[in-house]
C-alpha cells in the first residue's frame, strides 16, 4: 500500500510536471501499478484492518433480549444471566454500544435566559471548618444565587438551613441586589418544598414569602441537577477558587471575605458570555421587579410564656431575659445576627445570634436582677394567718334536736 507522502507526490509529479508513470515510479522507487492506483484514487490512502469479529457476537442476540426487557440492566447482571465466562470488559463495551438503542431518548435542551427572568438558588456546604464560638467548629450552609442572564453570583453563609434562616438569607441577598427576578429556581430543599404525588409543593413559609415578593418559584424535579446547572457550577467555582488557602475566624469573617472575592469573581471574563458578568448586570437588574416597600416577616418569631428561670430557647441555645417578665408572654424575634425579646412594646433582651450549639447566653444585668429579686423575696416576712374562730355549741342542743331528754 502506498504511503500518504508518496501518493501526494505522485499526483503532483503527474499534474504539475507532467511526468510519465514509469518516470514517477523510478523517482519514488515504487511499482508502476502502484503509481497507477495512486493517480486513479482521488482520496488519501487509508489503512483499514479487516474486521475479525468478537466473542460477544455469539451472545449479542441474548444481550439484546435482556435489554429489551430492562434497558438499564447492568452489564454484570447481563453477564450472569447469559453465563458469560470471558473478559467482562469486552462485554461491557458491547453493552455500552447497544444500550442507547433501547433507552428512551432523554435530550437536555439548552436554556436561554432573558434579562430579569430567573435566578437559580442552592445551598453550598463548604468543606472547611469555620469557628462557631464556644470552641466549636462547623461548616454552615452558604446560600448561593446566580442570575441566569448576567451570571452574577451572590452568596451568604447562614446559621442553619431551616426556613426562617433561609428566607432571611434570601432577603439579605435580594436587598444587596436591589431587585428580584420574576422567578427563583430551587431543587427539593426541605425548607423550600418538595414533590408530592408528582406535583411540586412549597412550604407555607416560602409560599408566603413568594406571595409578598409577587414572584414565582420553580421547583426542579427530583434527581434533575441539569435544571440548575448555573448555580451547581458556581458552587464548584467557589470551592476551587475561593476556599483554597483561606482561613476564617468565624462566620462574619467568612462572609466578609466572600463579599470581597465576589467583586473580583463577577468582574472576570466569562467564557460562555464573552464578557464580564457585571457588564450585563445593569440590563439584568433593570428588567427585574422592584422589592416590596414593606419587608416580609423575617427570621424566627415565636410567642412563649417566660418561665421562672427567665431564659428562652432558640434552636438549641438558651438566651437570658429580664426577669421582670417572668410569667408573662414575650415575643422572641431572631434574624441572622441578633436575638431580641419583646414584652409588648418593651425590649427585655437583646443578644448576638450564637452559631454554636447547646450554649447558654446570659446578660450580666439579667443575672444581677434575678439575684436581687430572689433576695428580696427571701427577706420578705411571711404573711400572718388569721386564727379561725370555731363556734362552741352546747351538747344539749344536739339532744333536743334528736328528741333525746334526760329521764328524771
pLDDT tens column, 133-153: 999 999 999 999 999 999 999
Output the nine-digit C-alpha cell for 18: 507532467
CA dist., res. 391 & res. 376, Å (int): 40
Same domain, 65 and 34: no
Strand partners, 147: 119
- Mean pLDDT score, 250-272: 95
Count of all residues that appear for the chain in the document: 408
Same domain, 253 and 306: no
What percent of the chain clears pLDDT 70, i.e. is strictly above it?
92
Residue 200 within a domain? yes
Label residue 173 by pLDDT band (50, 70, 90).
very high
Residue 232 within a domain? yes
Same domain, 179 and 225: yes
In 3D space, the residue among 238, 262, 260 whose CA is nearest the CA of residue 124 turns out to be 238
Residue 311 within a domain? yes
Same domain, 36 and 180: no
Same domain, 136 and 273: yes
Q: Is the pLDDT of residue 381 over 70?
A: no
Q: H or E element: which one contains 317? A: strand 317-320
Same domain, 129 and 93: no
Residue 140 within a domain? yes
According to DSSP, residue 59 is labeled G
The pLDDT, as a whole number, for residue 374 is 81
Residue 47 within a domain? no
Same domain, 88 and 9: no
Same domain, 162 and 233: yes
Residue 108 within a domain? no
Same domain, 306 and 275: no
Same domain, 224 and 135: yes
- Give the range of the structural domain holding residue 26, as residue numbers without chain letter: 4-40
Q: Where is the domain boundary, 228, 257, 286?
A: 286
Same domain, 221 and 266: yes
Q: How many helices (H) and strands (E) does the chain have?
A: 13, 16
pLDDT (tens digit per residue) in 279-325:
999 999 999 999 998 888 888 999 999 999 999 999 899 999 999 99
Strand partners, 333: 301, 340
What percent of the chain clears pLDDT 90, i.e. is strictly above it?
73
Same domain, 136 and 274: yes
Output the nine-digit C-alpha cell for 183: 422567578
Q: Are 201 and 195 a contacting pair, CB within 8 Å?
A: yes
pLDDT (tens digit per residue) in 192-204:
999 888 899 999 9
Q: Where is the domain boundary, 263, 286, 309?
A: 286
The pLDDT, as a whole number, for residue 138 is 94
CA dist., res. 153 & res. 265, Å (int): 8
Number of structural domains found in the chain: 4
CATH code for the domain in which residue 220 is found: 3.30.420.10
- Mean pLDDT score, 4-16: 89
Output the nine-digit C-alpha cell for 128: 472547611
Output the nine-digit C-alpha cell for 331: 415575643
Q: Are 91 and 74 a contacting pair, CB within 8 Å?
A: no
Label residue 408 by pLDDT band (50, 70, 90).
very low
Prediction pTM value: 0.71
The pLDDT, as a whole number, for residue 386 is 59
CA dist., res. 171 & res. 15, Å (int): 76
Q: Are 325 and 218 a contacting pair, CB within 8 Å?
A: no
Residue 80 within a domain? yes
Residue 293 within a domain? no
pLDDT (tens digit per residue) in 66-92:
999 999 999 999 999 999 999 999 999
Q: Is the pLDDT of residue 21 over 70?
A: yes
Q: Where is the domain boundary, 259, 286, 313?
A: 286
CA dist., res. 120 & res. 170, Å (int): 12
Q: Are 375 and 367 a contacting pair, CB within 8 Å?
A: no
Q: Is the pLDDT of residue 407 over 60?
A: no
Q: Is the pLDDT of residue 236 over 90?
A: yes
Amino acid at each position: 500500500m502506498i504511503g500518504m507522502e508518496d501518493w501526494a507526490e505522485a499526483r503532483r509529479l503527474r499534474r504539475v510536471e507532467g511526468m510519465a508513470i514509469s518516470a514517477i515510479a523510478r523517482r519514488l522507487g515504487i511499482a508502476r501499478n502502484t503509481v497507477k492506483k495512486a493517480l486513479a484514487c482521488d482520496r488519501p490512502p487509508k489503512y483499514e484492518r479487516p474486521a475479525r469479529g468478537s466473542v460477544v457476537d455469539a451472545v449479542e442476540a441474548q444481550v439484546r433480549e435482556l435489554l429489551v426487557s430492562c434497558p438499564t440492566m447492568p452489564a454484570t447482571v447481563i453477564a450472569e444471566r447469559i453465563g458469560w465466562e470471558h473478559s467482562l470488559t469486552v462485554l461491557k463495551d458491547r453493552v455500552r454500544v447497544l444500550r442507547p438503542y433501547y433507552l428512551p431518548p432523554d435530550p437536555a435542551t439548552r436554556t436561554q435566559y432573558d434579562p430579569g427572568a430567573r435566578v437559580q438558588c442552592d445551598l453550598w456546604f463548604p468543606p472547611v471548618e469555620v469557628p462557631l464560638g464556644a470552641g466549636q467548629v462547623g461548616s454552615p450552609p452558604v446560600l448561593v444565587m446566580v442570575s441566569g442572564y448576567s451570571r452574577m453570583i451572590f452568596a451568604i453563609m447562614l446559621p442553619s438551613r431551616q426556613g426562617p434562616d433561609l428566607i432571611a438569607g434570601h432577603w439579605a441577598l435580594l436587598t444587596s441586589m436591589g431587585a428580584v427576578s420574576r422567578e427563583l429556581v430551587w431543587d427539593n430543599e426541605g425548607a423550600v418544598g418538595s414533590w408530592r404525588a408528582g406535583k411540586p409543593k412549597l412550604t407555607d413559609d416560602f409560599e408566603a414569602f413568594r406571595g409578598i415578593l409577587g414572584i414565582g418559584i420553580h421547583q426542579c424535579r427530583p434527581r434533575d441537577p441539569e435544571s440548575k446547572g448555573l448555580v451547581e457550577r458556581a458552587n464548584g467555582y467557589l470551592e476551587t477558587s475561593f476556599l483554597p488557602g483561606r482561613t476564617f475566624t468565624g462566620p462574619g469573617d467568612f462572609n466578609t471575605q466572600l463579599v470581597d472575592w465576589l467583586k473580583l469573581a463577577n468582574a472576570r471574563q466569562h467564557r460562555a458570555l464573552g464578557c464580564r458578568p457585571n457588564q450585563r448586570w445593569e440590563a439584568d437588574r433593570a428588567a427585574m421587579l422592584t422589592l416590596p416597600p414593606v419587608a416580609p416577616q423575617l427570621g424566627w418569631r415565636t410567642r412563649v410564656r417566660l418561665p421562672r428561670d427567665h431564659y428562652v430557647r432558640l434552636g438549641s441555645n438558651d438566651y437570658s431575659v429580664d426577669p421582670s417578665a417572668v410569667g408573662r408572654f414575650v415575643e422572641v424575634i431572631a434574624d441572622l445576627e441578633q436575638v431580641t425579646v419583646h414584652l409588648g412594646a418593651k425590649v427585655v433582651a437583646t443578644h448576638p445570634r450564637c452559631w454554636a450549639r447547646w450554649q447558654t447566653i446570659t446578660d450580666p444585668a439579667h443575672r444581677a436582677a434575678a439575684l436581687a429579686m430572689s433576695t428580696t423575696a427571701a427577706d420578705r416576712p411571711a404573711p400572718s394567718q388569721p386564727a379561725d374562730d370555731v363556734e362552741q355549741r352546747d351538747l344539749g342542743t344536739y339532744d333536743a334536736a334528736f328528741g333525746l331528754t334526760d329521764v328524771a
